[in-house]
Amino acid sequence: MIKYISRRLLMLIPVLIGVSILAFSLIHLVPGDPARSILGEKATKDQLEALQEELGLNDPYYVQYGRFLGDILQGNLGESIQSKESIGVELIQKLPATIELAVFAMLVAVIVGVIAGVIAAVKQYSWFDNMSMTAALFGVSMPIFWLGLMMIWLFSVTFDILPPSGRLTAGVELHTITNFYLIDSILTGNWLAFKDSLSHILMPGLALATIPMAIIARMTRSSMLEVMRQDYIRTANAKGLKKTIIIFQHALKNASLPVLTVIGLQFGLLLGGAVLTETIFSWPGIGRYVYLAVLGRDYPVVQSTILIIAIIFVLVNLITDILYKYLDPRIKFE
Amino acid sequence: MKKRYLFMLLAVVAMIISACSDSTGSTADDGDEKGGKKTLVFGRGADSIQLDPSKVTDGESIYVTNQIYDTLVRYEEENTEVKAALATDWDVSDDGLVWTFQLRDDVKFHDGTDFAADDVVFNFERWTTSAEFVYYGYMFGASEEDMGGIIEKVEATGDYEVQITLSEPNAPFLQTLAMPPFGIASPEAVEEHGDDYFKNPVGTGPFIFKEWVADDSITVTKNEDYFGEVAKVDEVIFRVIPDNGARFMELQAGTIDLMTGLNPQDISTAEGDDALQIIRRPSMNVAYMAMNTDKEGPLSDKRVRQAINMAVNKEELIALYEGIGKEAKNPIPPSLWGYNDDIEAYPFDVEKAKALLAEAGYADGFDITLNTFSNPRPYMPQPKVTAQAIAEMLKAVNINVEIIESDWDTHLTLTENGEHDMAFLGWTGDNGDPDNFMYVLLDKDNATVGSAGNIAFYKSDKLHDLLKAAQVEMDQDKRTELYLEAQEVIHEDAPWLPIAHTTPPLAASSSIADYIPHPTGSEPFNLLDMKE
């Protein structure tokens, strides 16, 4: 097991080098000049050149990339061109917001998706099955930014029951410990802040949950259907076991392997999907951070943030793979 | 297995809790009034870059620094004429070289230090210490060799008197000093914060800087001791909401009170909503199609350029601006003093255009290229479609237009080098002086291949004499006369097809009163009020 994990971690290295090259080239391919974006339209050629020199933008690409890689290897994520702050510090400030949102969305997606999938499978071709699977089809195809805007329009503008953006209403006090607002408010027993941050996370959380929820529901259904046709389920039925025990104890555990794969992959994708969701709902996480950085051509921020997201993605998938063994002891790590 | 049930139970409980707060977690009242405090929440698409106005040129930074800083002189609320601010009075020597300013003696910086003549000297000296002070270099012609540019020296000639000596007369000087980049900063704060000063701005303006949460919000609070009109709102929060649609919905939901960057389709929605209003900012820009008069061929003939002006139906072009454009007939926008409204725009008249072309020997028309850029600009939201529309219109007079589209930087290089026949471009004014449009964009001094601002390469001695005279004439009325005449010369020679001036719309809650957007792009919010 330890051997397997360390091998997987070693494999991270080529993956991350690939990601860093990709992130570096993508942002440098986008037309636009960071110096121009800082100094504006009216800057003279001299001023632009001076700033480009200062930012090291005049060096050949391989020198710039080498510098980026060298810094990363020393654990230095660099400095934002725009705010001049350390990117590491800014990420630490913003990461909890994104993780809180992603975990919330994943919980919603898993709970609703798995339950809906199980019911749909058990009652195949029932009205519930047809309806939930149609809804899931919509869910998968729905663009997040459109869904987000519609939710704001419905819940904030029309019914006025949920705040349209942010993490906490201005003026609500919260003593932060972990920077996960829901957890912090519980830890400090601050129920006002808990309710407030819950009402803030609900819309972006649901918007972000839509796609994984739909995929999980469909995956659970098909996987359950397959398992339910197995001989041992028929045996269990013949033994006269309670239906709920058969479904949850015998069937779901075996059906959950492909579902877990999807959950692992989707969780990584959530971090990417957060770029759109956080932009629409002004959620102060790394998605919005990277979006604004792309607009401002803040090369170091874009490169380093993409790298961090990639690391999280790979780690989440590693954890998923390890969980396989728990669910299916037949799986051996080689 | 019990664990699994426990987990599901927890999940259900969690969902019930969230469902409950769903209906009670209303935050509708978090808008304007909190504990009797008037808070203006301003929504915009991007954050400020720096809060040191002398180092930035982006509108989002200036929006905020306009609240915090004062300049020696400032613009009138509705136009670009200049009035007193930190300086109460000024005069200029007969040779136009020495400007003497009398300063207010009752002003304190937000950090409690007194404002006096030495502080003005400090700021001017600071601006000459580095190329980072972008606008100083740009407006006063500073370079690496000569960091001061046209400003030779700045001296305190009394506790509250400053004398600025120029190396050459510069009539727009006062206009330039009113620009936000020349806001006076507290020397003590500059020295105390060093490289971090841009995050800790201290000025004398109507609002005091309070907090900046990067990418999220900037808060400023009312300066009770402001020497001008004390602000009517207690606090202004500048919030970053990147998506235009989401920002507009926040306005509808009442969580913000004022916003920039509307999607065109939201303008009519706001106009039809009693709770909202649309406020238009007067234009400070111009979009035009320059015709390269330097190239051999049809465009060197004035009659051809006039004919092109007549063959284009501007009304149709303006429709492409989706409600934010006004037809242009002059190179300067109507909000500037010196705008010549007596000039009659060339009529849309295809027959007359054909006749003029025939007279010039082009009855059968000709082939020509039109350079345009790929990304929208503030003065031209749809460059490519606009180019296609013009090409279509010119077909009617047998002019066959080939459109060449390139990215912005390439477009600038191509046009500065004069490689084009016709080309789109635009200009946003800096100091609200007609010189800043006409001299920069149409004088023969700026028609040098390789660095041309005058991309029509229009070289009129008559215009040059008028513009040069206006640069050294210190009497405002006489300058106005000169610019009125200059616009007539330009109109007659038609080096451009003037297309449009844009009036960027802002959307506001209908509770916002007395808000006067300034043509320069932003303004202090001290006059603005919020009704109950």
The model's pTM is 0.84
pLDDT-derived band at B344, boundaries 50, 70, 90 = very high
Instruction: Give the DSSP per-residue string, B372-407.
Output: EESS-BTTBS-HHHHHHHHHHHHHTTTEEEEEEEE-
- Judge whether residue B2 has pLDDT over 60: no
How near does any CA of chain B get to the CA of A163, in Å? 6
**How far is B383 from B372, CA to CA, in rounded Å?**
6
Q: Say yes or no to pLDDT of A4 above 90.
A: no
The Cα–Cα gap between B494 and B458 comes to 9
- Residues of chain B found within 8 Å of residue A107, distances taken between Cβ atoms: 11, 14
Q: What distance in Å separates the CA atoms of residue B337 and residue B483, rounded to the nearest whole number?
A: 9
Cβ neighbours of A49 in B, within 8 Å = none
How much is the average pLDDT of B434-440? Answer: 94
Per-residue confidence at A334, pLDDT binned at 50, 70, 90?
low
Domain extents in chain A: 2-73, 89-327
Enumerate the residues of chain A whose CB falls inside 8 A of the CB of residue B407.
31
> Which of the residue ranges A27-41, A122-136, A148-162, B343-357 would you say has the lowest mean pLDDT?
A27-41
pLDDT at B20: 40
Express as a percent the part of chain A with pLDDT over 70.
Answer: 98
B26 contact residues in A (CB cutoff 8 A): 160-162, 199
> Tell me, what's the pLDDT at A333?
66
Contact present, A54 and A280 (Cβ < 8 Å): no
**Is 70 exceeded by the pLDDT of residue B17?**
no
Specify the fold of B285-502.
Answer: Dipeptide-binding Protein; domain 3 (3.10.105)
* Domain B36-67+205-282+504-532 sits in CATH 3.40.190.10: yes
What SS3 class is residue B476? helix
Amino acid making up residue A224: M
Q: Label residue B142 by pLDDT band (50, 70, 90).
A: confident
CA nearest A293 in B: which residue?
Answer: B215
* pLDDT confidence of residue A23: 85
Q: What is the pLDDT of residue B398?
A: 94
Cβ contact, residue pair B241, A47, below 8 Å = no
Which candidate from A149, A163, A291 shows the least CB-CB separation from B242?
A291
State the sign of the Cα–Cα–Cα–Cα dihedral B320, B322, B327, B328. Answer: negative
Pairwise CA distance, residues A20 & A18, whole Å:
5
CATH topology of domain B70-187: Dipeptide-binding Protein; domain 1 (3.90.76)
Q: Confirm or reject contact between B272 and chain A (CB < 8 A).
A: no
Confirm if B404 and B370 have CB atoms less than 8 A apart. Answer: yes
Range of weakest confidence among A252-256, B222-226, B256-260, B454-458:
A252-256
CATH number (3.30.1490.100, 3.40.50.1100, 1.20.950.20, 1.10.3720.10) of A89-327 reads 1.10.3720.10
Q: What is the ipTM of this complex?
A: 0.81
Helical packing angle, B2-24 and A87-122, nearest 10°: 110
* Cα separation, B507 vs B341, whole angstroms: 29
Name which of A174-188, B191-205, B502-516 the model is least confident about.
Answer: A174-188
C-alpha B236: how far from chain center: 21
B144 touches chain A (CB under 8 A): yes
- Mean pLDDT in residue range B151-177: 95
Give the DSSP H or E segment for B157.
strand B151-158
Asked if B26's CB is within 8 angstroms of A161's CB, the reply is: yes
- State whether residue B208 is helix, strand or coil: strand
Q: Which chain A residues touch B242 with a CB distance below 8 Å?
A: 279, 282, 288, 291-292, 295
**Between residues B104 and B49, the one the model is more confident about:** B104
Q: What is the pLDDT of residue B21?
A: 41
Please tell me what DSSP assigns to residue B204. Answer: S
Residue A292 pLDDT: 86
Question: Is B249 within 8 Å of A38 when comparing Cβ atoms?
Answer: no
Whether chain B has a CB inside 8 Å of the CB on A113: the answer is no
Q: Residue A312: its pLDDT value, please?
A: 85
Q: Decide if pLDDT at A130 tops 80.
A: yes
Please state, in angstroms and rounded to a whole number, the distance separating the CA atoms of residues B401 and B394.
7
Distance from CA of A6 to the nearest CA of B (A): 30
CATH 3.10.105.10 region(s) of chain B? 285-502
Query: Of residues A321 and B259, which shows the higher confidence score?
Result: B259
Query: Is the pLDDT reported for residue A277 higher than 70?
Result: yes
A288 touches chain B (CB under 8 A): yes
